[in-house]
Structure 1
Amino acid sequence: MKQPAIYIMSSQENGTLYTGVTSNLIKRVHEHKTLTNGFTGRHHCKMLVYYDLFEDMNAAISREKQIKGGSRIKKLRLINQFNPAWKDLYNKIV
């Protein structure tokens, strides 16, 4: 899936959240799931709980900044609207 995207990874329902931007969602989420280095590895953020696809990277980066600048409550609302069951969405995108 070579397309600009933003995404949120989580350790569990209502757990630690990580927000990122990428040009290849499948590859990047796979890296989060398999690598132990970095924030997502240390905090076990292995579940893809939210993503949004964009036509260009500038729009994706702008949205990522908006989400990162928001409160945790806003992030939780976004996830609950998109994925109320907090299922790992990785299998949906591969």
Structure 2
Amino acid sequence: MGRLGECHPNDLDGMQRSGLTLGLAKARELGSAGILDAVEKAGLRGRGAQVFRRLQVACGGQGNSPVKYVVANADEGDAGTSLIVC
């Protein structure tokens, strides 16, 4: 939280100057398949009681529908979950 207050979360220009949009740019470059591949290679797993392998929860992104949904179990008790640090 050392960068807290450097910019306002609604200030897109400030976020770009601070480098806070680099992750989004990389995700757009990789595309859906590239993101899923990177997560799989990293061996990321759910936390707490939800220790699911990535493949168990990512199968919905493989459909042909133009509409996709992302579901995140964001526990507000974890300070980093719902906090945008600028």
- Judge same fold: TM > 0.5, yes or no: no
User: Relative contact order, CA 8 A, sep 6+: which one is greater?
Assistant: 2
The alignment's TM-score, normalised by the length of structure 2, stands at: 0.31
Of structures 1 and 2, the larger Rg is shown by: 2
User: Greater strand percent: which structure?
Assistant: 1
